[in-house]
Amino acid sequence: MIDAVSEARAKLRQRTDRPLRRVFADPPMVLAILRSDAFRQQARELGERLGMSVQSVVEEAGAHFGEMSATHNQRIIERWTRLGHWMLRGYDVLIDEEGLAGLRQLDDQHSLVFLIAHRSYLDEWVVPPALTRFGIGAPFGVAGANLNFFPLGTVARRTGIVHIRRATSDAPVYRFALRTFIGHLVSTRANLIWSIEGGRSRTGKLRPPRLGLLNYVVEAAQHVDAEVQLVPVSIIYDQLPGNEVELMTSEARGQSKSPENAKWFVGYLAGLRRRLGRVYVDFGEPIALKARLAEMTVADPSGAHRVERVALEVCHRINVATPVTPTAVVCIALLAADRALTLDEILATVSPLADYLTARGSSTAGAANLTDRATLRRATQELVRSGVLTSHSAGTSTVWVVGSRQHLVAAMYRNTAIHTLVLRAITELVLVSVEDATGETPFDAAAEALRMRDLLKFEFFFAPRREFLDDLRAELRLIDSAVALDDADASVTSDQAKAYVASMTWVLAHLVLRPFIDAYAIVAYQLAEIGEVATFDEERFVAHCLLVGHQWALRRRVASEESTSAEMFRTALRLARSRDLLDRATPDVGKRRAEFAAEIGAVQRNIERVSRLVAGPDRRS
């Protein structure tokens, strides 16, 4: 059987467009899978469905196992770690050691699946070495096959990196092999690590979770005795390497992604010379997978969407564990003002935000004091060195401003903190809507908040409906605890709304939501423009939105260039698609597209009303 697999690899190399990598000797894990009775039975069943012989399925799957196989070679790992130390020389790495201590206890009995918020190519040299340094078993990491090039891929697979293909829709045997491979790792209580987003964030906030690998883990977890613990991992960089930032912002502006290869890697290494601040690694509360699945089964025996619900819970816990950095709040202040600010003016914007974070119990990165002048000055100086900000010191005092074509970069750093501010921003928009309510009947603030939640559901991770409304009531009490509020609902009268608004010393809906709503407006108005058009080409539409968005930014129809982002436009189109606005067959689609544009326009106007309440340096009246 094993000889047949080697023979099959040679044949596959001849007939596939992308040759499989040669494997001189199968590691023990691959041999164990190939000899498994369960594997042979499943291969037989798959062959019957595909009209293939069991031998053909086994041979092809075996070739794929060789492509995926990885080992932990201690000598290579030591050199790999030294390379990582050199690459990270521009950073101080701060690890949540208390979280690791608790995970070390779980590691003795369970398989740990570390699901990370993927920020940088450097993540691979930040997290796994930290785990092994604190006594946790070396994980098998899952990475895209785009990074499986010589020499990087060749070395990486000997440090436990499993390279997998991203596009597998037309490769049923490959999917079978991957499911079997992941299941084997779980059954042997191996630790795993991968990005739950399936790739790096281009905007600074979490992207929608990819469910493929998690599906395989969920399936495997139900057939092993030990528990599988899902570990949410937050990774935040004060600043990313410049060449990564350039790559991500160019993609956001619609340019195609450059392929990774040896030449690219040499250039990447050359861009790691600057001082870039700190890396913060924090661990969220683990999820006992089998126990959580059992709870879901009691609540919903059908098991519908259970993997998606688990993934969203992981993402929510990543956000909860993610601290706010000084870099993020400096970018919040300067993007909000959209003009040059002195250090005093930055501090005037940041101080109320710091008070709000304290009241909410949100953590700051490295326990930083966000109202400390030296902390903010250091953050601005580091942003100047990387070109994100420009400083001018010729006058009576130094001022800082977001650099030319750097708004998307500054927004990426700001967005690392945005998860802590979204609920407050929604609350403010609800209140300015309620102010307009007439009569004595209380306005259904809960319904309005849920409408906003639905509008932004593809942009942010929200708590379940009941918890979301509880948080809304808590947010209202945080604004003004003196205003009477019924615990049973979230109804608010016009007079109550006015009292809330009058008590707000600082607001942030325009800081948090305006860039996204402006991007949605570009998409919504262009959809309304095409009306009942018979065909819809997403690529051409996004390219057109990029051109229109640039014009709107020049004409100040949107606040800044940061809303001109292909990724934001695609998220807006996900919302439009969920409302059947992209299908020509939808009844009255032209009318519904116009209504969508009107809905977004109303939110834009409410955001502008909130911005006029600002008492800080960027006050607009």
Q: What is the pLDDT of residue 619?
A: 40
User: What is the spatial distance between Cα 611 and Cα 514, in angstroms, rounded to a whole number?
Assistant: 10
Q: What is the pLDDT of residue 18?
A: 38
- Neighbour count for residue 243 (Cβ, 10 Å): 16
User: What is the spatial distance between Cα 210 and Cα 341, in angstroms, rounded to a whole number?
Assistant: 40
Note the pTM of the prediction, 2 decimals: 0.84
CA 371 distance to own-chain centroid: 28
From the list 260, 230, 65, the residue with the least C-alpha distance to 144 is 260
Q: What is the pLDDT of residue 26?
A: 63
Q: What is the pLDDT of residue 490?
A: 63
Q: What is the pLDDT of residue 617?
A: 38
User: What is the spatial distance between Cα 181 and Cα 39, in angstroms, rounded to a whole number?
Assistant: 10
The residue whose two tokens read 């690219």 is 264
Q: Order of strands, edge to edge, in the sheet holding 341-342?
A: 341-342, 399-402, 389-392
**Element holding 218 (H helix, E strand):** helix 212-221
* Pair of tokens at residue 50: 């595909």
Report how far apart, in Å, the C-alpha atoms of 214 and of each of 74, 114, 198 are: 28, 11, 11
Report how far apart, in Å, the C-alpha atoms of 245 and of each of 86, 99, 333 are: 20, 30, 20
Q: What is the mean pLDDT of each run of 10 residues along the chain (621 residues)?
A: 49 41 59 89 94 93 89 93 94 93 90 93 93 93 83 88 85 93 92 89 83 92 87 94 79 69 82 88 95 88 86 92 94 88 93 86 90 95 93 89 89 90 92 73 81 93 86 85 61 79 81 92 95 83 94 89 88 94 86 95 93 56 34
CA 577 distance to own-chain centroid: 21
User: What is the spatial distance between Cα 185 and Cα 187, in angstroms, rounded to a whole number?
Assistant: 6
From the list 509, 331, 350, 460, the residue with the least C-alpha distance to 408 is 331
- State phi, psi for 198 to the nearest 5 degrees: 80, 0
* Pair of tokens at residue 56: 């053909």
Q: What is the pLDDT of residue 199?
A: 76
Q: What is the pLDDT of residues 249-283, one digit of tens each?
A: 777 666 666 677 788 888 888 888 888 889 999 99
User: What is the spatial distance between Cα 323 and Cα 568, in angstroms, rounded to a whole number?
Assistant: 24
From the list 439, 449, 437, the residue with the least C-alpha distance to 473 is 449
Helix, strand, or coil (residue 450):
helix
CA angle 515/516/522 to nearest 5° reads 90
E-strand stretches of 320-460? 341-342, 389-392, 399-402, 443-444
DSSP assignment of 332-360, as one string?
HHHHHH-S-EEHHHHHHHHHHHHHHHHHH
**Element holding 369 (H helix, E strand):** none
- Neighbour count for residue 112 (Cβ, 10 Å): 22
* Pair of tokens at residue 614: 């600002």
